């Protein structure tokens, strides 16, 4: 399949919900076992609750976030290596005064839900600013432990 500029229906809905900052409505777009590959963490964030929590942090962190383009096609997923319908959404944003250029790469399951999500951003200084801001948000929301904290239970 050759890439096109037509947007996958789920990608278009995702884009609209992010632009509206409608976190609750995003839940239905993700598979229960979604994998989210971030530029600030080597291993993926896994599962719908964690990914929704991460989006809550991201929506608070990005300043003037906006999508500026899109492409669709097919690509191999990281999880199983199989071909899947995919969409790329190009974005711009600012974090702590640093402009970020990035892409969201979305892979869809047979029902059109997002099963894998990869974010790539540049430049490196923006990645570092984003990473610090996201980490602080994840700790504040109780989604990850702060250094020196131990699991209770």
The CATH number assigned to the domain holding 38 equals 3.10.450.50
Q: How many domains does the chain have?
A: 1
Residue 31 and residue 101: Cα distance in Å, rounded?
27
**H or E element that contains 58:** helix 48-61
Residue 108 lies in a domain: yes
Mean pLDDT over 46-59 rounds to: 93
**Would you say residue 3 lies in a domain?**
no
Of the pLDDT bands very low, low, confident and very high (cuts 50, 70, 90), residue 6 is: low
4 in a structural domain: no
Task: Yes or no: say if 29 and 108 are a contact pair by the CB < 8 Å rule.
Answer: no
Does this model's pTM top 0.75? My answer is yes
Q: Is residue 152 part of a domain?
A: no
In sequence order, what are the residues at sequence separation of 6 or more whose Cβ sits closer than 8 angstroms to the Cβ of residue 57? 134, 137, 138, 141, 143
Nearest to 1 by CA among 69, 75, 70: 75
Q: Mind listing the pLDDT tens digit for each residue in 100-130?
A: 999 999 999 999 999 999 999 999 888 888 8
Asked whether residue 16 is assigned to any structural domain, the reply reads yes
In a domain, 145, yes or no: no
Range of the domain at 111: 9-140
**67 lies in some domain:** yes
Asked if residue 48 belongs to a domain, the reply is yes
- What's the rounded Cα separation, in Å, for the pair 126 and 124? 5
């Amino acid at each position: 399949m050759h890439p096109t500029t037509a947007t996958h229906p789920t990608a278009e809905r995702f884009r609209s919900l992010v632009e509206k900052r409608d976190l609750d409505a995003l839940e239905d777009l993700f598979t229960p076992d979604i994998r989210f590959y971030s530029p600030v963490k080597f291993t993926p964030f896994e599962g719908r609750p964690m990914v929704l929590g991460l989006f809550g942090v991201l929506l608070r962190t990005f300043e003037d976030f906006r999508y500026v383009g899109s492409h669709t096609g097919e690509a191999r997923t990281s999880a199983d290596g199989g071909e899947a319908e995919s969409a790329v959404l190009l974005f711009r944003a600012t974090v702590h005064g640093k402009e970020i250029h990035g892409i969201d790469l979305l892979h869809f399951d047979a029902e059109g839900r997002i099963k894998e999500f990869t974010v790539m951003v540049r430049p490196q200084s923006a990645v570092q600013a984003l990473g610090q801001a996201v980490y602080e948000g994840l700790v504040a929301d109780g989604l990850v432990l702060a250094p020196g904290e131990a699991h209770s239970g």
